[in-house]
Amino acid sequence: MDKGLASCSRGLAPLLADELRALGLEVKEAPHGVWFWGGLEAAYKAVLWSRLASRVMMTLCEGEVDNESDMMDLIKDVNWAQWLKPSGRLEIEFHGKLPFIRHTTFGAQKVKDGIADWFRERTGERPSVDTEMPDVRLQAWGDHGRFSLAVDMSGHGLHARGYRLEAGAAPMRETLAAGILMKSGWTDIAKAGGTLLDPMCGSGTLLIEGAWMAADIAPGLIKADKMGFKRHVCFDSALWSDMVLDAKRRGAAGIQNLPPMFGFDHNEWVLQKADENMRRAGLKDKIQLQAFGLGQWHNTGWSKGLMITNPPYGERLGDEESLKPVYQLLGQTLLTECTGWQAAIYTSNETLGHWLGLRADKMHAFSNGPIEGKLLRLTVSEEAVKVTPINIGLNLVSEVLQGRANLAQSDGAQMFANRLKKNFKNLSRQAQKEKVYAYRVYDADMPEYAFAIDLYQGEEYDWVQIQEYAPPKTVDEKAARRRLFEGMSVLPDALGIPPEQCHFKRRMVQKGESQYEVQSDQHVFDWVQEGDCRFLVDLTGYLDTGLFLDHRPIRLWLASQASGKHCLNLFCYTGSVSVHLAKAGAATVTSIDLSNTYLGWAQENAAENGLPLTGQKLYWERDDALEWLQAMADLPPHARPQYDIIFCDPPSFSNSKRMDGTLDVQRDHVRMIADMGMLLAPQGKLIFSTNLRAFKLDTEAMAEMGWCVTDMKKESIGFDFARNMKIHQVWCLQIAGNAL
């Protein structure tokens, strides 16, 4: 067949599709890679030139199968003489299962039987199985009644380039290294003559892949003579020889103009292995390697470029606590030596990433084998510095009382205490009346004391969460710190809460998903009642606790509308809206979020409230909400799901592949609402919310699309946020003519 599949690690498919397009191939993204068309020539190009593909396969047959006979018919429709001699050797891997095949070994045996029967009927001979040195390696899949069979063109994993015979204790796959280099913009930086630096280079994988990219060296060259397809009957020797010769010419020309590259590591044994790897990669003396630890090397006038590294992250090297100083030193060294550079740090531990002290502009998910990781990208500058929450995971209030108790007697501290006591007296009375157990008691009422203070009456204890709004640069840092300590010194007494039950965080201006970033590796959990529901809150682990207090009225309003309704909760976070809807009698609730962490949290909330986690009531979808929404809207009208209530509270900004890398709620809300309109049942209600204060709903576009818009700000603001009506904006949208 003409169709092939280039498989890849999770997160690399969009980059792989672009890479194959650049090779002149027609492509389409698949669940675990990229489909391509073009026959043997296209497959040879992909094997030789793809830096990202794990394997390249050509599809031999595929189709729906109800029984073993159907599968055998597909196998026997293949002209096996194009691939294998009658006396040849086969290896077959079977993945998945079919109704009539429950075990992969049995599946592989059945595929082998079908091929053997094909040859026996025509030649009287049959091929044999050889897992060590087969002439043809086959990959078979069974999934939901569909069977497919493909030939593995290279016969080996393409991440194994051939230069790395030994590595450090936690090596990065070569294909992932190439992917994060591409995502980090190295190609353009290299063309401009920028420097490539890996200060924790280990066995040198990132540097070698970066050099090959800059020099236009084909990643398949070292193993060009060992490709599995050279044993195929249909192997086109002349075509392959021409491709390899052209690749060698391009590489020989490109290596003469490499930009400066440096690799440092404290481990001299690992550096020796890196040097050997570079020699095998044809890069001897092209990359400068030196035995330096972090903080020991200095920029001696290098041109600005890309600092890229894969520091240890506690999965296989070192424990997390001992690695925090490493990440802190890495961040400090970058600021000292690489200001103005691009930086890319790959880690599977978001908590450790937090200890860099630098805020990432972009964050991308990639897997390194079985380990899920994140690529953090930023421009190194003072603007990237984020103020690490003071004593994060510890108790600032207790510390202040122990060391600075005298601050409580200052005039400013006493004024703050009086305001806090007054607020608490009035708000606690209203909370008791409305049976509210989590509410805000102070929100920067006095500008000099810029805190948001929330009270949580938990199952075990009462808790206070204090968030300090980071002061602007015009405010003297010492003065701001003194006010902070003054406020904390009087807070426990004003609220009647022990200091050890008060937790402090610092709130910065949020970008993208930063409000969801891990803040501490220490977690304090408790359950809080809201209406008829109970929710799990984390007082210390994240900037937000898992329950947005300002949305309490809208959650309760949604619950009042839910009985018998089909509901959709986009960007569902920890599922508090979903639980309220289901608990109030919704017929179904579908919840969409990209985070496994928050979907798991949402399901824990559901279980605590006696709701089934799966089945006919609740549906949980781990997906990019925008991509899911567009996919549903693109379905034919009769196939689209229909919802009576849709709740959408998107982040103000977020990374999104669908929209050139970002979601901007101001820019994109018209399209989002249009897509949601296609899923809204007659007389249905779309509740759209945002906490972006500068947001302006495009009322003209809403009118053109036929929406009837009702501002719900007053209904959505609780007694504890009445002083700050700009905390969020909420609208109810219905299709004109369907509004009740």
Question: Sign of the CA dihedral 160, 162, 164, 165?
Answer: positive
Looking at every residue in the chain, the average pLDDT score rounds to 89
Q: Where are the domains of the chain?
A: 3-152, 174-216+257-384, 396-516, 548-735
pLDDT digits (tens, 9 = 90+) for 560-575: 999 999 999 999 999 9
Q: Report the DSSP beta bridge partners of residue 687.
A: 647, 732
pTM (whole model) above 0.85? no
Q: Are 145 and 64 in contact (CB under 8 A)?
A: yes
**Domain 3-152 fold:** VC0802-like (3.30.2130)
- DSSP category for residue 203: T
Q: Are 274 and 201 in contact (CB under 8 A)?
A: yes
CA 248 from chain centre, in angstroms, equals 37
Q: Rounded distance, CA 681 to CA 683, Å?
A: 6
Q: Rounded distance, CA 614 to CA 136, Å?
A: 43
What is the C-alpha end-to-end distance of the chain, expressed in Å? Answer: 56
Q: Look at residue 352 in the predicted model and tell me its pLDDT.
A: 79
Core vs surface per residue 100-111: b (16+ CB within 10 A) or e: bbeebeebbebb
Q: Starting at the edge strand that comes first in sequence, how are the strands of the sheet with 451-457 ordered?
A: 438-443, 451-457, 462-469, 502-507
Length of the chain measured in residues:
740
Same fold, 174-216+257-384 and 548-735: yes
Residue written as tokens 């309220």?
A: 580
Q: Report the DSSP beta bridge partners of residue 570.
A: 592, 648
Q: Look at residue 655 in the predicted model and tell me its pLDDT.
A: 58
Class of the domain covering 174-216+257-384: alpha beta
Low-confidence ranges of the chain (pLDDT < 50): 168, 315-318, 387-394, 508-519, 656-660, 739-740
* Nearest alpha carbon to residue 449 among 407, 417, 404, 496: 417
CA 284 from chain centre, in angstroms, equals 36
Residues 6+ apart with CB under 8 A from 476: none
pLDDT digits (tens, 9 = 90+) for 185-196: 999 999 999 999
User: For 264, phi and psi rounded to 5 degrees?
Assistant: -125, 150
SS3 assignment for 567-634: EEEECCCCCHHHHHHHHCCCCEEEEEECCHHHHHHHHHHHHHCCCCCCCCCEEEEECCHHHHHHHHHC
Residue written as tokens 């405010």?
A: 475
pLDDT digits (tens, 9 = 90+) for 211-262: 999 999 999 999 999 999 999 999 999 999 999 999 999 999 999 999 999 9
* Nearest alpha carbon to residue 146 among 34, 211, 254, 70: 70
Q: Rounded distance, CA 534 to CA 579, Å?
A: 9
Q: H or E element: which one contains 700? A: helix 699-704
Q: H or E element: which one contains 412? A: helix 411-434
Q: Look at residue 3 in the predicted model and tell me its pLDDT.
A: 94
Cα Dmax for the chain = 101
Residue 299, token pair as written in the block: 């920029």
Q: Report the DSSP beta bridge partners of residue 621.
A: 592
* Nearest alpha carbon to residue 25 among 1, 6, 52: 6
| CATH architecture of the domain covering 396-516 | 2-Layer Sandwich (3.30)
Q: Look at residue 645 in the predicted model and tell me its pLDDT.
A: 98
Residue 356, token pair as written in the block: 């860099």
**Domain 548-735 fold:** Rossmann fold (3.40.50)
Question: Sign of the CA dihedral 663, 664, 667, 668?
Answer: positive
Q: Are 739 and 708 in contact (CB under 8 A)?
A: yes
